Structure 1
Amino acid sequence: MIRFALALFLLVVPASAHATDAGWALLRDGGHVVLLRHAMVTGSTDPANFDIATCSTQISLSARGKQQASKIGALFAARAAPVSRVLSSRYCRCLDTARIAFEAEPQPFAPLDLLSTDETQKAAQIAAIMKEIRAYSGSDNLVMVTHLEDIVALTGISPREGEAVVVAPQGEGLRVLGRVTF
């Protein structure tokens, strides 16, 4: 059993490293949209008194999450991955990830908030995100800091906290071009 686990680990690590290298190559070239899941947090669900305007009522970045966000920004800079604009969910964990990583004030973009449980509102959120992605044509990268549920709904991929998924429009949906883990 241990040998099987080790063999599986050795197969996964090179694939992950390759995916990260390919993702960085795309980001260095610029002109891409990046869906970035917020960095590591202190809990798993927001408290009952949740208020989008009050950070103390939300789960927040952990100390490791703040370090991770700082590492994200440092690697974007070190790898010369240009960023023209950062859009973020209005949740504090996403705004803080963006602020720490990119040392700039992100533009709050409500459609990047956790997806609504109401199917009509959820569809409207996804449509607004897709519209923004389709409209992007800059030479630098557009970073959209959001949540696991949003990225899964848009791509079918379940990224880790702080993982970036590089996407491009394809038909009615998105094509995943690469991934970068931090």
Structure 2
Amino acid sequence: MMLRQIFLTAGLVLFFVSAAAAEPDRLVEQIATGGHVLMIRHANAPGNGDPDHFRIGDCSTQRNLDDRGRIQAQRIGQWFRSQGIESARVYASQWCRCLETAALMGLGPVAELPALNSFYERPRDREPNLAALRSFLAKQPADGPLIVLVTHFVTISAITDEGVSSGEGVVMRLKDAGGREVLGRLDFKF
């Protein structure tokens, strides 16, 4: 009886490990078909929040990517290209760490999208940013090319109910009438 329980437990563990390993492949197949959005948190930028003298457009006043973050962002782009995804419509928060992550991924021109800006230390911006982001997403075609949104933990969490680490992303499928469905996470461990 004990041996049977061990085999059953081992089988379940292997099933879940196999399912987890297959998840990125399934998500890549789906995003290659169009009508998908990848919300990705900027690459590694040591620290938390931003300095008191923070100013949009002045990277010297912000928490920025370190060398590890720059390499991580480049490898994320390389990973996509290795999966046959050469380009996407790329938007980023106006924070330098997001813009740099998006540029280093090399998936296409990067457009600033203020709706992706952080509200971590700016709670008054939360609802206006999220309303603008929901409106942006609702206007995107349900069969259009991949959209990559490089943003912050708080924004991703508010839209998808998923918490992510630096360089991690959440894939959503756009639906008709402005709807969207969370499909899963892509964890870029490099």
Aligned AA (1:29): T
The Cα of 1:37 is off from its aligned counterpart by 0.8
SS at match of 1:29: coil
After TM superposition, which residue ranges in structure 1, 4 or more long, deviate above 6 angstroms?
9-12, 170-173
Alpha-carbon distance between aligned partners in 2 of 1:63 and 1:13, rounded to the nearest angstrom: 32
The Cα of 1:134 is off from its aligned counterpart by 1.6
Larger Rg, first or second structure (1 or 2): 2
Q: Which aligned pairs between 1:82-161 and structure 2 lie closer than 5 A?
A: 82-102=86-106, 104-115=108-119, 116-118=122-124, 121-137=125-141, 139-161=144-166
TM-score by structure 1 length?
A: 0.84
Matched-pair contact (CA < 8 Å) for 2:137–2:178: no
**Residue ranges of structure 1 left out of the alignment (5+ in a row):** 1-6
The Cα of 1:166 is off from its aligned counterpart by 0.9
CA gap 1:134/1:180 in 2 versus in 1, 3 angstroms: same
SS at match of 1:161: coil
Matched-pair contact (CA < 8 Å) for 2:88–2:108: no
Cα RMSD for the two superposed structures = 2.4
Matched-pair contact (CA < 8 Å) for 1:22–1:179: no
**Residue ranges of structure 2 left out of the alignment (5+ in a row):** 1-9
SS at match of 2:144: coil
TM-score by structure 2 length?
A: 0.80
